[in-house]
Amino acid sequence: MTDKTADHAERIRSTIRRYQSTFSENDRAGWIALFTEDAVLEDPVGTHRCDGHVALGEFWDRIHVSGHHAFVVPVTTPAVCGLEAAWAFEVHVDAGDVEHVISIIDVGQFTEDGLITHNRAFWDPSTVQVVPRPP
């Protein structure tokens, strides 16, 4: 691995960490800033596509409208190959008496500066668990 490749990998991993922390901290502006102006987000793949910052903001608003607190738990260290990466994580959504746990695999493409140009989230109803809270 060359120094340049190692630098790209670290920038990409840093972006992924910030992607997850801004989501968990409900930081809409910080999350959107991780994407290029013309970035594409498919979440989940095959059902919804967002093109650009305006659409990303609308997506954020749609998934946060419930007001339920959600946070990300990394499952794997991102595997970075060139300017692409894949990683697994869980989104935990506090829904009162239950917690929804969504297992997701993301595959992303990045700029040399580590901004997201295209991100694809792979999940479906079979990867969502509803966990009752203890009484």
Catalytic residues: 19, 43
End-to-end CA distance of the chain: 52
* Rounded-to-integer distance, Cα 93 and Cα 100, Å: 5
Per the CB < 8 A criterion, the answer to whether 89 and 74 are in contact is yes
Question: Which of 9, 11, 10, 34 shows the shortest CA–CA distance to 21?
Answer: 34
Which residue type sits at 66? Answer: S
Per the CB < 8 A criterion, the answer to whether 52 and 37 are in contact is yes
Question: Collapsing DSSP states into helix, strand and coil, what is residue 38?
Answer: strand
| Angle at the Cα of 94 from the Cα atoms of 77 and 115, rounded to 5 degrees | 40
